[in-house]
Chain A
Amino acid sequence: MGAAQILQYLLSGVTTGSIYAIVGIGFTIIYNATGIINFAQGEFLMLGGMIAISLHGFLPLPQAIALAVVATGLCGVGVQLVFLSWLRRPDILRMIIITIGLSILIREAALHVWDEKVHALVYWTGDETSSLAVLGARISPQLLWVLGACALMVASLTLFFRYTLTGKAMRACASNATAARLCGIRLPWLVTLSFFLAAAMGALAGCVVSPMTQTQYDMGTSLAVKGFTCAVLGGLGSVGGAVAAGILVGVLESASISVLPLAFKDVVALTIMLAILLVRPQGLFAAIGRKTGPL
Chain B
Amino acid sequence: MRDLLQELIDFGLRNNADYVEIRVQEKVSTRIIARDGILERVVFTNIRGASVRVLSNGAWGFATTNTINKDILIDAIKNAISMARGASLITRRKVKLAEVEPKEDKVRAEITLDPTNVPSEEKVEYVMEVNKLLLNFDPRIKSAQSYYSDEKIIQTYANSDGAFIEEEKIYVYFGSDATAIEGNIRASARESFGSTKGYAIINENLPENFVKILGERLQKQLKAKTPKGGAFPAIIGPRVIGLFTHEAFGHLSEADLAFTGAVTIQKIGQKVASDIVTIIDDGTLPNGFGTFKYDDEGVPTQKTIVVKNGILVSFLYNREMAAAFEAIIKQRMPTLLEVFNVKPTGNARAENYRFPPIIRMRNTYIAPGEHNIDELFEDIKFGYYLVAPLGGQANLDGTFQGGIQEAYEIVNGEVGEPVRNVSFSGNTLETLMKIEAIGKDFDIRAGTCGKGQSAYVGIGGPHVRVKELILGGGG
On whether the two chains bind one another, the answer is no
